[in-house]
Amino acid sequence: MISSKMPSKAASLAAPALSALLLALAMPGFAGWWPLLFVALIPLLWAARTLPDAVQSGCMGLSSGLLYHLSLLYWIVIVLERYGDLHTTVAVGSLLLLAGYLSVYTAFFCMIVNWLTGRPGSGLSVSVLLTAPAAWVGLDVARGWLFTGMPWMDLGYGLFRQPLLLQAADLGGHHLITFFIVQINTLLYWLLNRAFSRTKTAKRQYMLALMVCLMLYCVGGYSMLRWRQVEALSAAAEQVTAAAVQGNISQDEKWSPAIKEKTIDRYLALSAKAAQQGERLQLMVWPETALPFYPHREPLMSRVRDFAKEKQIYLLLGAPYFTVKTERQDEQFISSLRPVEYFNSALMLDRSGATTGRYNKQHLVPFGEYVPLRDFLWFVKPLVELVGDFTPGDSSKPLEAGGIRAGVLICFESIFPDIARRTAEEGANLLVSMTNDAWYGQSSAPQHSWAMTVLRAVENRRSLVRAANTGISGFVLPTGAVSRESGLFTAEALTDTVPLLTEQTVFAQGGHWFGHACLALTGLFLFGRIWACSKQRRQKILRRK
C-alpha cells in the first residue's frame, strides 16, 4: 500500500475511510485510543500522494473529512432536534452541511500534498515532512477564523489525557502539538515509502529526515524538563482553594419559572457542602447561566448574596444580564429608544455579597446565542428564543477576588486560544471556565469540550477551574494534569487547591502566531510551485520557437 504505484479503485476508497476510522477511534468520546493519532493520517497521505491529479486527491480528502466530521459532530442532531425544535430532516441536513464544509479543509490538504510533493512514479521528496504539517496547521487556523470560526477538536486536543506530551503548547499553542502529530505521521509514511520504493534516495534527504527526528527528540526533552520546571514553580507559588459546583439542572427545565427556586436551593445546598469540605475556601464557581433569571431584578438573588456573606467567600456565577442603552443629550443621560442589550455574563460577588465585577461573553455561539443573517435564516430562529439574542462583550479584563484575578471563559470561548491568552496578558492568574453542556446529552461533545479547555491551561501556564451544569467540571494544573474531575449528569461540588502563576509564556508573547506562520508558509510553497510551473511553460514556449 505504501508504494508509489497508482492505487486501485478499492484502495483509493478504503484509504480515506481507514484514516477517518482511525481518527474517530483516537479522539475522546468513543474509544479514545490516542496513540492512533500518530498513524491515522498515513493512509490519507498515501492516497493523496498517489492519485493521478490534485482534483481526484481533493475528492478523496473530501470523503475522508466528511466521514470523520460526521463521527465527530453527530451530537448536533441532538441539539437541533431536541432543543432547537427542528424536524429530524432539517437537523440531519444541518449536520451534513457543517460536516461537508469542514471537510473542504481536508480536501484542500490532500490537494496541496498531491500538488507540492511531485507526481506518482517519482520519488517522494523529504520536503513533505515540512509541507504536510504546515499545510494541515495552516488550514486549521483558517477553519478557526473563517465564518466566526469552528476549530472543534483539532488533532492536538486528542492528547489531552497525556500531559507529558502537551508541554510544548506553551511555545506555539495547541497548533504546535498538531504540527508534530502530523509530522510524525508524515515521517512514518516517508520512511515506509522509501523502504518499498525502487527509486534511489539521496543521502541528503536521509540527513534532512534525521534532522526532523532530532527535532522531535528535542521536543520530547523539552517536555520532560518543562514539566519538572512548572511543577517546581507551582509548588513555590501562592496556593488557593476553590470549588466548582455542578448543579445538573435538566436543559428541559432550566428556564422554567416554576423551578427557579428549586434551582437556587440545589446550588446553595451543594455550595454549603463544598464550603464545609474546603479549608480556607476562597472562590466558588457556579456554571454558565446557573441563575435562571436576571439577577438585578429577581428577589431570589438576595439568598445568593446572603450565602456569600455568611460563608465569607467570593462567588463567581453565570447569569443572563441586560442593560438599557443610554445616550447623552443636554449633558444628561436619558433612556434611548434603542433595543435593550442582553448578555451571557459572569458575575463576581465579594464576601459582603456585593457585585464587584461582570464579564460578558465575547465569542457567541452562532445559531445558539444569536442568528447570523436572521432575515434569511428565519427557520433556525427557535434555537435562540429560549436563551435570548445576545450581544457580545468587548473586554477580557479579569475579575478580582482578593488575590485571585480570574480570567473567565464562558462555554464556546474555551475552544478559542486567543481569548484565554488575552485575559492572561491582562493579569489573570487563574482561568475559570463556565459552561452548560446539557445541550449535548449523552454524547461525546462534553469530552471534546473538556479536552479543548485543558489546553488553555498549558498554553498560558495557569491553573484552571471549570464548572459545568451537567459536567464535566474539574481542576487543571498549569502542567495540564487534571487534578479533579466530575462525572456526567451528576450533582456534585468539587474542591481543590491550585497554584496561582503569573509568568508570561512564549505562546502569550508571540508563539500564538505559529499557526499563522504555517498558513503563510503554505502560501509561499504554493506560490513557489506556481512560479516554477509558469517558468517551465515559458521555457517550453521558447524551445518551440
Residue count of the chain: 545
From the number of C-beta atoms within 10 Å of its C-beta (0-12, 13-18, 19+), residue 543 rates as: exposed
Amino acid at 385: E
C-beta separation of 480 from 167 below 8 A: yes
From the number of C-beta atoms within 10 Å of its C-beta (0-12, 13-18, 19+), residue 284 rates as: buried
Q: Any catalytic annotation for residue 279? A: no
Choose, from 361, 413, 492, 518, the residue flagged as catalytic. 361
Cis bond upstream, residue 264 (ω within 30): no
Give the whole-angstrom CA distance, residue 169 versus residue 171. Answer: 5
C-beta separation of 501 from 237 below 8 A: yes
Q: How many CB atoms lie within 10 A of CB 90?
A: 16
Choose, from 288, 369, 413, 492, the residue flagged as catalytic. 288
Angle between helix 9-26 and helix 42-50 axes, rounded to 10 deg: 150
C-beta separation of 52 from 177 below 8 A: no
Q: Any catalytic annotation for residue 327? A: no
From the number of C-beta atoms within 10 Å of its C-beta (0-12, 13-18, 19+), residue 242 rates as: buried
Radius of gyration of the chain (CA): 26
Q: Any catalytic annotation for residue 411? A: yes
Pick from 379, 411, 387: which is nearest to 93 by CA? 379
C-beta separation of 318 from 295 below 8 A: no
Helices and strands of the chain, counted as H and E runs: 15, 14
* Residue linked to cell 452562532: 366
Q: DSSP characters for 355-398?
A: EEEEEE-SSPPBTTTB-TTTTT-GGGTHHHHTT---------PP
| DSSP-based helix, strand, coil % in the chain, nearest 5 | 55, 15, 30
C-beta separation of 59 from 77 below 8 A: no
C-beta separation of 288 from 318 below 8 A: yes
Give the whole-angstrom CA distance, residue 359 versus residue 199. Answer: 61
Choose, from 110, 254, 411, 413, the residue flagged as catalytic. 411
From the number of C-beta atoms within 10 Å of its C-beta (0-12, 13-18, 19+), residue 198 rates as: exposed
DSSP assignment, residue 83?
I
Using the Cα atoms of residue 507, residue 508, residue 511 and residue 512 in order, give the sign of their dihedral.
positive
Angle between helix 445-460 and helix 417-425 axes, rounded to 10 deg: 30
The grid cell for 508 is 502569550
Q: Kindly list the catalytic residues.
A: 288, 361, 411
